[in-house]
Amino acid sequence: MTGGRAGCQALFDEQSAAAYTDVRRAAMHDLFVDTYCMQHPEEYGRSAKSYAAHLLRLCCGVEMRGEVTRYAAIRRWLDGSSSIVRPEPPAMRGTMTIVDVAGAPPDRYPDAVRAWASDVWAAYAAQHAVAREWIASAIERGTRR
């Protein structure tokens, strides 16, 4: 138990700070952040752009092992004006939480983050097709520049 929403946020802040002192955590921090944000889209995905950014980065982190060129394409695609529509988040956003990751020993931390991300990504199954379509658009747009 984290102590409600405030406790959950405090645990996120604590874990984020630890990424500055442990290379294993730092290497997983993007996936960690996007997973957390997709479990809390009412705060971190209010706009269509912020929602899409975290959804697409979660997709990239889980399905494409965080390929840096795709992350860059996503960022460029979302830069400027956009006509995307924010999907409704699912009611159930995974069975794992940040608590499952926070308790992982340092050598198991990367696996814990990947398991949590995969669990949250599975909860967004209804949005997988749109996420993949948007990533494809981002990559196509990047190749035309």
pLDDT digits (tens, 9 = 90+) for 12-28: 999 999 999 999 999 99
d(CA 143, CA 65): 21
The one-character DSSP state at 104 is: S
* 2 pLDDT above the threshold of 90: no
C-alpha angle 9/17/99, rounded to 5°?
45
Taking the model in full, what pTM does it have? 0.93
> Are the C-beta atoms of 71 and 34 separated by less than 8 Å?
no
d(CA 141, CA 115): 31
d(CA 32, CA 37): 9
Distance of CA 138 to the CA centre of its chain: 17
